[in-house]
Amino acid sequence: MKLTHLDEKDRPKMVDVSDKAQTHRIAVASGRITMSPEAYEAIISEKTKKGPVLQTAVIAAIMGTKKTSDLIPMCHPLTLSGIHCDVEELPKLPGFKLTVSAKLTGQTGVEMEALTGVSVGLLTIYDMVKAIDKGMVISEVQLESKQGGKSGEYQRT
């Protein structure tokens, strides 16, 4: 199998998408962070020293989504048309699930943008609460679905 990010001499390259048709593309990714009951309660009650954790995580997720091409070497800089973030409280873990949806009309997909947004958002939660719980675990960062492009639809089952 030929890898698309290597040229004929096996050197790294960014894929040329100039001949690809523009299509409407959407990707949704999610991830979880689990923590101690004390850390969870501090976040829910907004009693952390660093401010409103979940709101800050959403802003960080949006920023991470927008900055993906600065962080992942072979990602194209994209003009995103929309980013949506959702944080779900999971008191039984305890922890949170962060979901990011990214969309555009363009020549390449937005899966990496959604995944990066989730990762940055979850890392922000960790950063803001690590004084309470350094044992938090970020897990299950995964693509949930994608639409558009040559490879078509994908839905995690």
Instruction: Give the dihedral sign, CA 36/40/46/51.
Output: positive
Choice among 7, 10, 86, 127 that is catalytic = 127
d(CA 46, CA 107): 41
Burial class, 146, CB count within 10 angstroms (exposed 0-12 / middle 13-18 / buried 19+): buried
**Contact status, residue 39 vs residue 128, Cβ threshold 8 Å:** no
CB 83 within 8 A of CB 101: yes
Is 70 catalytic? The answer is no
Residues marked active site are found at: 127
